[in-house]
Structure formats: C-alpha cells, structure tokens
Amino acid sequence: MAITINVNLDEILQALKDDLDFTGNADKYIKVNATADGFEFAAVSGGVTTLEGLSGAINLVAGTNVTITDNGTDSITISSTATISDGDKGDITVSASGATWTIDNGVVTDSKLSAGIDAAKIADGSVSNTEFEYLDGVTSAIQTQLDSKANLSGAAFTGEVSVTTSGAGTTLGLTNSGSGTTLDIGNSGSGDFFVIDTNKLVVNNSGLVGIGTASASARLHILTGSTSTVGQIIQAAAGQTANLFEINSSSGSGGDLFKVENDGTVQAKEFWSVNSQNVSHYLRGYTEIRGQIGGGPSGQPLNVRAGLRVASDATNASASNNDPSAFVQIDSTTQGFLPPRMTGAQVEAISSPAEGLMAYATSAGTGDVTAAGAYLYNGSNWELMSLQTELDTKADKLITTNTQTASYTLVLGDAAKLVRMNVASANNLTIPPNSSVAFSVGTVIYVEQMGAGTTTIVAGSGVTLNTTAVKTPYQYGTLTLIQVSADVWNVMGGTV
C-alpha cells in the first residue's frame, strides 16, 4: 500500500505545533515534541521517519518503507509502503484495510482553518477572498449555468427565447446609443419574422405587415376586427408643417402621386377620375370631401364619368334615390344650388362660353348683362333667366284671322287662327285627314259665320267628329275645333 500526503509546510506547522503534541504517547505512530524553534519528529515504533525542526528548519529523513519527494513549491510528498491497520488512530480513524482515513468530527474547526487558509492559498493564488465568496449561493454547476446564458455583447440566440413579466413595467427595453441596428431579426425558415399576441402585429417571412390579421396580403394590411374601431388615424402634431400622408413615385418625393397636406388638403397627380365601377366599389354610401379638390400640375379638373350625385346627408345620398335620367343630381331639403357668382363685366368676359353655360351676375355689365340676376348663354348672347323679365319683354298674344268667301278646306297655317266664313249662302268648312295636313294633337281652330250663309263642318276622309252639332248657330256665331287625337276632332258651340 502507498500513502501520499501533500503538505504545504508554511500553512500547517503552526497547527501541528498547537494541536498535535503526542509526547510520551507510545501507542502512536508519530511523536511530536514542541521546541522553541519548531518540531521534532521522532520514531516511536521503529521504522518511522524522523523529522527534526531546528530554528524553523525541517529535515526530512526517509526511514524504512518511506519515500520523501520534494515538490519544489513548499510542499513535499511522503510515500509509504507500510501497511496501516484499521482502527482509531487518535483524531483519525482508519478503515477498509487502510484505504479510508476519516478525520473525527470536531477535530478540524473553523478557527483552526480560517487563520491559515484564505482564497490566496487556493490554486495559483490569483483568486481573491471577495471573488471566492461569490460562490456562496450557487445552487447548481456553474459551467452548466454559464452555457445556458447569452452573451450581453453580440448575443446570438438559438432555440426559443421567452421574456415574461407580470408587473406594470417594461417587458423588453432596447436602447442603442450608437449608430448600429437596434434590433435585426432574420428568419431562414418558413415562419413569421415577428408576432405580437397572435395577430395584433405580424411581420411574415415575405416582409408583409399585418395589423389585426395574420394573413397580410399587402405591405401594410390593417384589419380593424370591430365595427366600432377606427381603421386608421393620422393625427397631426402641434405646429405640423410636413404632409400627413404621401404616396411617391419610384423617383419622386413630397407626395408627387398623392398627398394629404397638414391642413387636410388632398392633392393627386394630374386629375381625379371616378367612373361608375369605382364609385360603386370604392365610394359606397355617403362620401364627404371637405376642403379642396384641385387639378394636377397641368390644371386638369375633376373628371367624372357616368354621373355625379351630391346630397346633403347620407339619407338623401341613398342609391334608391338616384334618377337614371340625370347626369348630375343634387339632393337637399335644407339647402339650395349656388352657381358661380361674379360681376356682370366678369360674366361678359368669360372666354368662348358654351351654349347653356350659366352664371349669376351680381351687377349689370356693359353688354348683354343689363341687370343683376341668373344668366344663360344661348349660343350667341347672355339671356336673363327671369320669367317676369321675359314676360315683360313680350307683346300680348293676338289671334290671327283668315277670311274666306267660299267653302274652304283647312290648311296647317290655320292652327290657332280664327277662320271667318264671309259667304252669303250655305257653305262647308272641311277638316282634312292627318295624312294630307298633319295638325298636331291639341291644335285649336276657331270658325266664325261672318256672312249670312250657315257654315257646316265636314269631316274629310278618315276624320271623326265627336258631335252632330256641326253648324254655325247664327251670323257672327263661332265654333271651336280641337283635335283630341289624330283625325279625331271635337266641335263645340254648334247646332244640328
């Protein structure tokens, strides 16, 4: 059997001097005599190495079955081939045929160890007491715990990383004081790049962003998910000077395709074009445009195809109220139509006015516009759109007469005239068929018996008279003829 004892002499000499004095104890293997300068180790049972300490120096002399090795670092190795029997050896109990040495309880105390052992005596002495005390409270293998942690600088995560909090504080805060990227997420798989609470915010592996949906079909896809939730709000900051919203061309900027300015003005490139399909699909129900609708850089106006409906509220704007015969329809029960208003001189100065153009003059001009009022251009002149003014400019309607001295057949020019039959004897007035004289339905003709001869109304071929009283009643008596339908006439005021 070989026994190896590693000894640091400087650390244990004092402990040996204080506690291992077995002088005169003949049944021990080692006898220790304390001297003024060190220790004397003397054999007590033959064959044991004798160690003598003189003035702090120790001489180790090998004895029978003992080998002494100098390790060169203030420590020695003492090896023995002697067999040590089991049993109580004082402060040490030997068992298992000398293979196990057990130090008795209470022999080695904190006061004995702490005075001579500190962190500097561990390993190569590079660990301080403070660093050594960090081990207090470690509950599992340190290397295993370190392997499971991410580096604070340049950390690369593998597997799943979960951050959970239950308080009101920030769950994950990212701060970047440099110029690099704060958060760079890469994904080589088929899953989404980034997800907040299932579908509140999802960035899929194609770079499409879904808010309220996990199935984004555009670069930004917003699904409100509630009939009472506003889909999107853009709110200007106090003193906002930049545009609220911009759509730029591939090489443009500043909203060159579409923009909403800080005052709410909406501008689109070139012109707005709204056809019936777009109105039905995109501008359903009540659409309200406030502010300005302006043309593009070339000054093109709003171009509306198929028709325009303007209503004062959503009820009036219902599609069921649309009149298919109207290209422009304006509905309101509380407001009217306000045409362009300008001075008479400005109305007269309109360049190349189209026939039917309407404007309201707030004052008289120097030409056609003679007074304030609504004017309509008739293709050559501006006319005041006033019924009373029109009536004032017209002469009273006078009936025209046609005097005949013999039997007579009506002609188209007799419509609205008084035909005077100045014949001394009986005579006839014939109403021709529409095939030969196409009187309009509603035509009125008056017939007077001017002479002494009675005038009889005669129906031409295919003409029907709705009475048998077809003769003038007396001299200067009058009949009235009215065509109520094609070739059908009423005769009023006659006799049989």
Long-range contacts (CB closer than 8 Å, 24 or more residues apart) made by 299-303: 300/270, 300/271, 301/271, 302/271, 302/272, 302/274, 303/271, 303/272, 303/273, 303/274
- What does the domain layout of the chain look like in residue ranges? 3-121, 191-223, 245-331, 341-393, 400-492
Query: In angstroms, rounded to a whole number, what is the distance separating the alpha carbons of residues 43 and 66?
Result: 13
User: 253-281 burial, b if ≥16 CB within 10 A, otherwise e?
Assistant: eebeeebbbeeeebbbbeebebeeeebee
- Cβ-in-10-Å burial (0-12, 13-18, 19+) of 95 comes to exposed
Q: In terms of Cα–Cα distance, which of 15, 25, 39 is closest to 90?
A: 25
The pLDDT, as a whole number, for residue 163 is: 74
The predicted pLDDT at position 69 comes to: 65
- 79: part of which helix (H) or strand (E)? strand 75-80
- What is the amino acid identity at position 91? D
* Most distant CA pair in the chain, distance: 195
The amino acid sitting at 280 is: S
Q: Residue 88 in 3-state DSSP?
A: strand
Q: Sheet with 39-43: list strands edge to edge.
A: 30-34, 39-43, 51-54, 57-60
* Separation of alpha carbons 30 and 37, rounded Å: 19
Name the residue type at position 224. T
Would you say how long the chain is, in residues? 496
- Angstrom distance (rounded) from CA 194 to CA 187: 10
Q: Exposed (0-12), middle (13-18) or buried (19+): which is 66, by Cβ within 10 Å? A: middle
Q: What is the pLDDT of residue 363?
A: 95
Architecture of the domain made up of 400-492 = Sandwich (2.60)
Q: pTM of this prediction?
A: 0.33
For tokens 């402060």, the residue is 91
DSSP string, 11-69: HHHHHHHHH---TT-TTSSEEEEE-SSSEEEEESSSSPPPEEEETTEEEE---TTEEEE
pLDDT of residue 136: 75
Residue 375: closest CA among 358, 393, 397: 358
Which pLDDT score is estimated for 314? 57
What residues in the chain have per-residue pLDDT under 70? 1-83, 110-123, 125, 150-159, 268-309, 311-321, 387-390
| Per-residue model confidence (pLDDT) at position 86 | 83
Would you state the pLDDT for residue 427?
96
Q: What is the Cα Rg of the chain in Å? A: 62
pLDDT of residue 305: 56
- Which pLDDT score is estimated for 461? 95
How many beta carbons lie within 10 A of that of residue 179, not counting itself?
Answer: 5
